[in-house]
Amino acid sequence: MLGLNADRKMPTVLLIDDDMVSREVMATVLTLGGYTVHTAETGADSLALLDDGACIPEVILMDTQMPGLSGSALVRELRLRSKAILYAISASNAPADVVKGTDGFLMKPFGPEELQSALEHRAREPEPSPLTDAPVINDTILSQLRTVMSESAVREIFTAVVSDLDRRHALLLAAINKGDSAEVRRLGHAIKGGCSMAGAAQAAKVGQLLETRGDDLEYSRSLLAHLRAATANLKRILDAELSPKE
């Protein structure tokens, strides 16, 4: 086991488990397998490690049943603090809401081979970027706008769209943190509608996905980065191509 994956850099792991024996055995096994492992006895301890910057994990393993902060509440707090891959771990079946909120489930006992296999399986199935095939601005709609209004009015429209997207990003984050999938879908619908009318195609595509897949809150959370990117792309064009000419 000491030679396992000796030729590759293994990710840093944060292991959260209230059972001392289970925690130390898993930490030792994973360390021997090449992983750098940090441990936390409670959910609160894990958040303190992340808040202090003492641990910047690429993978988080959290036991599904612990006293204090645990389950879906802990999942939400970990997601707010880390972009790490998050696996639920347990010696028995895990609660459905916890499994749904995490990136996978590993049954105890497991070793470095099982963890690496899970990570490689996840790596082979990336979620495609919704921005890949969508233009920042739909040229046809932009041309139509320019035929019926002045350039300054067109600028005002896209400036308002950028401002609105920034506002809705904050609202989406709040809705996701509250577990309010209905509000996520409503906001996605509003983004899709407004941005489609203005021709902001990338942002409209993200809005469509938020509307249709808003029940999957973790996927919706991942879409926030794409919404930020679409907004930044739109602002870049606004500054470069739609700015007032001297």
Domains of the chain: 12-123 (3.40.50.2300), 139-240 (1.20.120)
The pLDDT value given to residue 123: 54
- In the structure, what pLDDT confidence band is assigned to residue 113 with cuts at 50, 70 and 90? confident
For the chain, how far is it from start to end, CA to CA, in angstroms? 68
As a whole number, the mean pLDDT across the chain is: 87
Which of 93-102, 162-171, 215-224 shows the lowest mean pLDDT across its residues? 93-102
Report pLDDT digits (tens) over 17-28: 999 998 998 899
Token duo for residue 243: 């700015």
Name all contacts of 27-34 with Cβ < 8 Å and 24+ positions apart.
29/1, 29/111, 29/112, 30/111, 30/112, 30/115, 32/1, 32/2, 32/4, 32/112, 33/1, 33/4, 33/5, 33/111, 33/112, 33/113, 33/115, 33/116, 34/4, 34/5, 34/6, 34/8, 34/10, 34/112
Report pLDDT digits (tens) over 133-146: 889 999 999 999 99
**Helices and strands, number each (H, E), in the chain:** 10, 5
Report pLDDT digits (tens) over 139-198: 999 999 999 999 899 999 999 999 999 999 999 999 998 999 999 999 999 999 999 999
